[in-house]
Amino acid sequence: MKVAIIGAAGRMGIRLVHAVLEADGLEVAGAIERSGHPQLGQDIGRIAGVDELGVLVSDDLAATMNDADVLIDFTFPDVTLNNLEICAKLGKMVVSGSTGFTPEQRAAAEQYAKQIPVVLAPNMSVGVNACFKLLKETAKILGDDFDVEVVELHHNKKKDSPSGTAVRMGEVVADALGRDYNQVANYHREGMCGERSPQEIGMQTVRGGDIVGEHTVYFIGMGERIEISHRAMSRDMFARGAARACQWIAHQGPGIYDMQDVLNLK
């Protein structure tokens, strides 16, 4: 399976290069960066600190995808949608870890996925996706007797808030409790905001330093509290998950999938 990586010369891109090289059946066949990037034309293997791969960094996604089977995309929703459009025209698969999609952008991605297989997941970590499964079961067991709060921490360069992972955690819990996440999510408390409603799911965000990513969901009852947490200690786990998704997507038809599909957790 020939893999192209967008943003290949960045921090996440370099980790993805290593993950693809370490995965069975995958090879790095393309490396894309923005127009004007200082490392355009350089060998991505040298940039990543491994042997030269004979793959030069390019700013032409369409030309690069002619020699690749699947694109790994960790960018932003508007960029991802543009990449999906190009890949759909070329009949190429996409694995995307981009976050911050609006409902309209998500709907647009689903349209492209009618033509090609797309894994679109807010978090590629195997551990985080295990947490999603645990959250669903925990919420079903506890029901409406426990208040739910989601707290997430990330580095000070992260642009979206709350994180896509935190939102997905809130959605999983809300769905298990028979609630509409968009109606019960509470992103802001300040001043005399009144008592906490029994149905709401609090979403709290912390930004600072170089925190890779931490998420905790609190189920808070009378006299007891359950916490389900995940702490990312490096970006390698996201990269390994993306490589695993590339191995899996090769055997899928057109459609939109997530890591729960990849890991057979549904």
Residue 256's domain is classified under what CATH number?
3.40.50.720
Q: Quick check: 99 pLDDT over 90?
A: no
Contacts of 241 (CB under 8 A, 6+ apart): 121, 123, 124, 125, 126, 129, 259, 262
Residue 37 annotated among the catalytic residues of the structure: no
Q: Which of 2, 18, 37, 158 is catalytic?
A: 158
* Mean pLDDT (whole number) for 176-195: 94
Q: Which of 136, 154, 215, 230 is catalytic?
A: 154
Instruction: Residue 140: give the domain boundaries.
Output: 126-232
Higher pLDDT: 122 or 155? It is 155
pTM equals 0.81
SS3 54: coil
The verdict on 248 and 223 lying in the same domain is no
* Mean pLDDT (whole number) for 155-165: 92
Residue 159 annotated among the catalytic residues of the structure: no
Contact of 252 with 185, CB cutoff 8 Å: no
The verdict on 48 and 88 lying in the same domain is yes
CA-to-CA dists, residue 219 to 135, 177, 180, 184, 190, angstroms: 10, 12, 18, 15, 22
**Burial of 37 (C-beta count, 10 Å sphere; 0-12/13-18/19+):** middle
What CATH number is associated with residue 179?
Answer: 3.30.360.10
| pLDDT tens per residue, range 110-138 | 999 999 999 999 889 999 999 999 999 99
The pLDDT value given to residue 245:
97
The verdict on 104 and 144 lying in the same domain is no
DSSP H or E segment with residue 211? none
Q: Quick check: 153 pLDDT over 90?
A: yes
SS3 154: strand
